[in-house]
Amino acid sequence: MPFQMDPEVAAAFGALMGGHAKPEPAPIGEVNSRRALFEGILSITIGSMPAAEGVTHTDFSTPAPDGHSILLRWHHKKDTPLSDSPAVLYLHGGGMFAGSINLYDRIIAHYVSLTSVPFLAVEYRLAPEHPYPTPIEDCYAGLRYLHSNAASLGVDTTRIAVMGDSAGGGLAAALTHVVREKNGPPLAKQILVYPMLDDRNTVPDPHIVPFATWDYLDNATGWQALLGDKCGTEGVAVTAAPARMTDATGLPELYLDVGELDIFRDEDVEYVRKCGLAGVSAELHLHPGVPHAWEGIAPKAGSAVRAMQDRVRAIMSIKSVGRKVGV
């Protein structure tokens, strides 16, 4: 039976489009129009979420290796003193060239509200203005800040996870490799939401093309913005494109979810397989009949509700890292 979009998601997508046909894709390499389009969609989908009750945020900054001041936003429950708490470092999506922590405020606050786990979001710099390695260096600086300031923030450094969606999921995966290479601050878990992992994903799957909300031209544009002429060559590092991984030994345990109609499906499933081959505990959810970022388009759909429940459970699991039963 051929692929079909989940009816609840299809209806929500139709409502978002307002009866208009899907716009013709911009040429590969056209960043500005895509940035405006995707940030506009994020503004609508995330902005339509109700504000999370009882969550506040505080802004900090930390220097990047080149001296740039990186904005960090600490989301936490109001009037809830933190002591020996888990925490999540969050890296937003946007195809490597779009997005911001301002756009992601409501979704991050939603996770914090549901889990009581505080999040530190990193305003990493975007390509193509800031190509690799700048974005991942900014993310690593954010992780180092969280570890260095753990005592004042009430965080247990053995229970810090990294989480991200789409491009942010790719950066989250890449960060685990940076930590391994540098013997850096440890991560207890990686929580990857339909992560963007493989710069070589350029051959369209005809079964997915009709449903793709993030298509192959978008993908080529994002990777070229990040990697330039190195995109697709043998010289791409695993800290740029984590699908280049040959050995997952030593990586933190993994949670990953992705839609069946997402162009990242195969690279994500393969990443989970490689982790399993190295003995890294990995949890995979492949949601049938849904494209990239479907839960933002149709948050009330059954598949979106289930995905959110799974992510919340994955976040909550870091509370018990290194703990005895009942403690």
Are the beta carbons of 272 and 280 closer than 8 angstroms? no
Average pLDDT score, the chain: 95
Mean pLDDT calculated for residue range 232-249: 97
In whole angstroms, how far apart are CA 310 and each of 60, 188, 238, 293, 306?
30, 17, 27, 15, 6
- pLDDT of 322: 64
Evaluate the omega torsion of the peptide bond into residue 133 and state whether it is cis, within 30 degrees of 0: yes
Query: At residue 226, does pLDDT exceed 90?
Result: yes
Alpha-carbon Rg for the chain, nearest whole angstrom, is: 19
- Lowest mean pLDDT segment, chosen from 71-75, 80-84, 91-95, 111-115: 80-84
Query: At residue 129, does pLDDT exceed 50?
Result: yes
Confidence of residue 324 (pLDDT cuts 50, 70, 90): very low
Confidence of residue 326 (pLDDT cuts 50, 70, 90): very low
Query: At residue 57, does pLDDT exceed 70?
Result: yes
**Tokens read off for 124:** 């990493």
Mean pLDDT calculated for residue range 123-146: 98
- pLDDT of 118: 98
Please report which residue ranges of the chain form alpha helices under DSSP H.
7-17, 31-47, 105-115, 134-148, 150-153, 167-182, 216-227, 265-277, 294-297, 302-317
- Percentage of residues in the chain having pLDDT higher than 90: 89
For the entire predicted model, the pTM comes to 0.96
Query: At residue 325, does pLDDT exceed 80?
Result: no
Read off the pLDDT of residues 7-31 as tens digits, 9 standing for 90 and up.
Answer: 999 999 999 887 777 778 899 999 9
Is 292 labeled as catalytic in the residue annotation?
Answer: yes
In the chain, the domains with their CATH numbers are 7-320 (3.40.50.1820)
| Distance separating alpha carbons of residues 274 and 193, to the nearest angstrom | 17
- pLDDT of 323: 53
Are the beta carbons of 249 and 130 closer than 8 angstroms? no
| Distance separating alpha carbons of residues 216 and 209, to the nearest angstrom | 8
Of residues 326 and 233, more confidently modeled: 233
- Percentage of residues in the chain having pLDDT higher than 70: 98
Choose the catalytic residue: 85, 166, 303, 317.
166
Choose the catalytic residue: 156, 292, 303, 317.
292
SS3 for 129? coil
* DSSP single-letter state for residue 171: H
- pLDDT of 18: 78
Choose the catalytic residue: 92, 262, 287, 303.
262
Mean pLDDT calculated for residue range 141-147: 98
Closest CA to 76 of 124, 119, 130, 25: 119
- pLDDT of 17: 80
Query: At residue 316, does pLDDT exceed 60?
Result: yes
